[in-house]
């Protein structure tokens, strides 16, 4: 992936030097292993800070909302789909963007890797499909395929769907992946089992809202959880309120979520709240043939009416 790195630095420096953009949004090395941080680069000299590896799971489309300047943005498959969604929802215009497309090879799951080892991880290095985790000076070898983020393991849009320039040739898309095994498992449960599964899933939630803040779709100036007149949902950790927050957030992402995994990645207690958005993603696909963010030319199912929209739930 080092060839990506050079190309990203080169393109970014060029764009800034030629004043084609006012800034480039990308990643730089974070202060902790597996935590690359988003950064805004304003001049060509600083482009050298930019990095790319398997720890760039944060969705950069999140930083585009209502921006006024000309922006270069590094975009993997899912970021590009959220950029499309942002453009469709008038949160940024296509003309403002110079999209630097990165064919993605999947991000590694920091929750999973942290859980695999005792002690503090000092370093995580990668070389192609090999990951080396260093703990107390001792190196442990892992296969990247075994520690991919769950959403990346079933991702079928790794190449950017929209870009001005690519940093490399497209990667081969994964075929024959079963995207919805986890959702089907829940769908097969009785109501009571579902209730209990979600109760357990959400019980560690501390309402920190990292999941919603990491999500590019959650850009409302005042989120429903923060409103007080009327107060839609209590602010504490009553399980009813926690669940209301999660269900409503998921519904607000219906037909928009790209399953980028930024929400799950951000959660400090490792909750897989993606099962909710994924159910809606599955329904969008199965009932409306819709996958979010693939094209600028079609309106999403929630803001169009078609005579053949499924309606067999209405009597």
Partner 1 sequence: MGIEPDRIHYSWISSAESTKFVEVVKEVTEKVKALGPNQHFAKHEAKVA
Name the site residues for partner 1 (rule: CB under 8 A): 191-192, 194-198, 234, 238, 240-241, 243-244, 247, 313-315
Strands (E), 30-101: 37-41, 71-75, 97-101
Closest distance of CB 79 from partner 1, Å: 30
Query: Counting contacts by CB under 6 A, is residue 58 touching ligand SF4?
Result: no
Which is it for the CA torsion 142, 146, 151, 152, positive or negative?
Answer: positive
> Which residues inside 232-291 make contact with ligand SF4, applying CB under 6 A?
253, 257-263, 266-269, 271, 273-274, 277
To the nearest 10°, the Cα dihedral for 165, 169, 170, 172?
-170
> Which residues inside 101-120 make contact with ligand SF4, applying CB under 6 A?
104, 106-107
Contact 74, 52 (CB under 8 A): yes
- Binding site partner of 258, from partner 1, ligand SF4, none, Cβ cut-off 5-8 A by kind: ligand SF4
Cis peptide before 147, with omega less than 30 degrees from 0? no
Query: Counting contacts by CB under 6 A, is residue 220 touching ligand SF4?
Result: no
Binding mask 185-214 for ligand SF4 (x = CB under 6 A): --------------------xxxxxxx--x
Q: How far apart are CA 136 and CA 154, in angstroms?
A: 33
- Binding site partner of 234, from partner 1, ligand SF4, none, Cβ cut-off 5-8 A by kind: partner 1
Query: Counting contacts by CB under 6 A, is residue 167 touching ligand SF4?
Result: no
Nearer to ligand SF4, 39 or 267 (CB): 267
Nearer to partner 1, 71 or 242 (CB): 242
Q: Is 79 exposed, middle or buried (0-12, 13-18, 19+ CB in 10 A)?
A: buried
Angle at 178 between CA 53 and CA 86, to 5 degrees: 55
Closest distance of CB 241 from partner 1, Å: 8
Name beta bridge partners: 41. 24
Which long-range CB contacts under 8 A does 92-96 form with residues at least 24 apart? Answer: 92/64, 92/65, 92/66, 92/67, 94/296, 96/67, 96/68, 96/69, 96/70, 96/71
- Binding site partner of 133, from ligand SF4, partner 1, none, Cβ cut-off 5-8 A by kind: none
Contact 278, 182 (CB under 8 A): yes
Closest distance of CB 195 from partner 1, Å: 3
- Site residues (vs ligand SF4, CB under 6 A): 57, 59, 76-78, 104, 106-107, 151-152, 155, 158, 205-211, 214-215, 217, 253, 257-263, 266-269, 271, 273-274, 277
């Amino acid at each position: 992936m080092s060839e990506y790195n050079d190309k990203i630095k080169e393109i970014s420096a060029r764009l800034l030097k030629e004043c084609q953009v006012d800034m480039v949004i990308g990643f730089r090395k974070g202060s902790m292993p597996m935590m690359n941080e988003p950064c805004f680069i304003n001049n060509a000299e600083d482009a050298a800070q930019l990095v790319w590896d398997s720890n760039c799971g944060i969705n950069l489309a999140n930083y585009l909302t209502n921006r006024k300047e000309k922006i270069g943005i590094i975009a993997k498959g899912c970021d590009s789909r959220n950029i499309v969604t942002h453009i469709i929802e008038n949160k940024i215009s296509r003309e403002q963007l110079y999209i630097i497309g990165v064919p993605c090879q999947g991000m590694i799951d920091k929750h999973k890797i942290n859980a695999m080892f005792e002690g503090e991880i000092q370093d995580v290095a990668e070389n192609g499909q090999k990951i080396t985790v260093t703990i107390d000076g001792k190196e442990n070898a892992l296969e990247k395929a075994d520690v991919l983020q769950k959403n990346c393991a079933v991702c079928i849009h790794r190449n950017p769907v929209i870009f001005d320039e690519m940093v490399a040739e497209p990667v081969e898309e994964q075929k024959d992946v079963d995207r919805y095994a986890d959702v089907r498992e829940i769908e097969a449960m009785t109501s009571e089992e579902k209730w209990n599964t979600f109760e357990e899933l959400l019980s560690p939630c501390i309402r920190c809202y990292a999941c919603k803040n990491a999500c590019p779709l959650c850009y409302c100036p005042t989120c429903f959880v923060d409103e007080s007149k009327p107060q839609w949902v209590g602010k504490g950790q009553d399980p009813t309120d926690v669940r209301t927050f999660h269900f409503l957030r998921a519904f607000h992402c219906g037909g928009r979520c790209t399953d980028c995994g930024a929400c799950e990645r951000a959660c400090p207690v490792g909750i897989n709240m993606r099962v909710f958005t994924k159910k809606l993603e599955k329904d969008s696909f199965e009932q409306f043939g819709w996958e979010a963010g693939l094209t600028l030319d079609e309106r999403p199912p929630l803001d169009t009416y078609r005579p053949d929209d499924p309606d067999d739930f209405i009597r």
